[in-house]
Amino acid sequence: MERYVGVRDCMVDGEAFAADAREAVYRAIHTRRDVRDQFLSDPLPDDLVRRLLEAAHAAPSVGFMQPWSFILVRSEETKHAAWEAFSKANAEAEAMFADEKRDLYRSLKLEGIRKAPLSIIVTCDPDRAGPVVLGRTHNPRMDVYSTVCAVQNLWLAARAEGVGVGWVSIFHDDDVRALLGIPRRIEIVAWLCLGYVRELYQEPELAVKGWRQRLDLDQLICEERWIDQDNK
């Protein structure tokens, strides 16, 4: 006879983690970095990659739509073509900055596509849960926001595994679509470069190199209603 599963049977312990486990979570959050040039060439084992993908797939999603998919790229030929797409867009981006920022921009390494042994392209399928999705009825971007949660899950799991991650966002969508055969209706959310690293910057690389500093959290907190940050 089939056993009825009640709500209580589906619940797990909601107590706080033990101190050491809690500290490990916060350590992953605060030491996570956007890696560009510290990748080692060693390939990532399949079981490790699977764990990272499972962490991504465990992300929260509005309406439990789970709109994400993952394309794994290891081919040097494909990575080189992606780097060429990045380089074209990067030259365009450089020209958008004022003269005083342009030299600093030029000195930054903004991708690790060729150096990292693995790239994972994270996409979003807006149709996966049907035309009407619980929680997306009044904000159609909730599918993309949910997909970004998957990116963050993967990134934090990678940090715990000693794997660096770099997010490449400087490219034209059409170039990547053509390279990877991604349909028009599918949104490209992230091109992630992954690989082992020996060391990481103590602070975000863009802060270390003087591009931008971390904002003061106290200046970003409002109570009860919005307050213009510039006038606080």
Residue 17 forms part of a structural domain: no
Q: Is residue 142 part of a domain?
A: yes
Q: Would residue 15 count as lying in a domain?
A: no
pLDDT the model gives residue 5:
57
* In a domain? residue 4: no
**Cβ pair 230, 157 in contact under 8 A:** no
Span 78-121, pLDDT tens digits: 999 999 999 999 999 999 999 889 989 999 998 999 999 999 99
Q: What is the pLDDT of residue 6?
A: 64
User: Would you give the distance in Å from CA 227 to the centre of its chain?
Assistant: 29
Do 117 and 195 form a contact (C-beta atoms < 8 A)? yes
Task: Please state, in angstroms and rounded to a whole number, the distance separating the CA atoms of residues 84 and 78.
Answer: 10
Give the span between the Cα atoms of 93 and 11, in whole angstroms: 49
Cα dihedral across residues 120, 124, 129, 134: positive or negative? positive
Number of domains into which the chain is organized:
1
Is residue 220, in this structure, part of any structural domain at all? no
Residues of the chain short of pLDDT 70, as ranges, are: 1-8, 231-232
- Of how many residues is the chain composed? 232
Residue recorded with tokens 């034209």: 172
The radius of gyration of the chain's CA atoms, rounded to the nearest angstrom, is 20
Residue range of the domain that includes 63: 33-211
Q: Is residue 6 part of a domain?
A: no
In a domain, residue 81? The reply is yes
Q: HSE of 27 in the Cβ direction (CA atoms, 13 Å)?
A: 10
pLDDT for the residue 99: 87
CATH number at residue 133: 3.40.109.10
Which residue blocks in the chain are alpha helix, DSSP H? 19-31, 46-57, 76-94, 99-107, 142-160, 173-180, 205-208
Establish if 20 belongs to a structural domain: no
**Residue in the structure block whose two tokens are 């074209």:** 88
Distance CA 153, CA 89 (A): 28
d(CA 67, CA 186): 10
For the entire predicted model, the pTM comes to: 0.92
Residue 90 confidence (pLDDT): 94
CA distance 164 to 21: 21
Question: From the CB of residue 38, how many other CB atoms can be counted at a distance below 10 Å?
Answer: 19
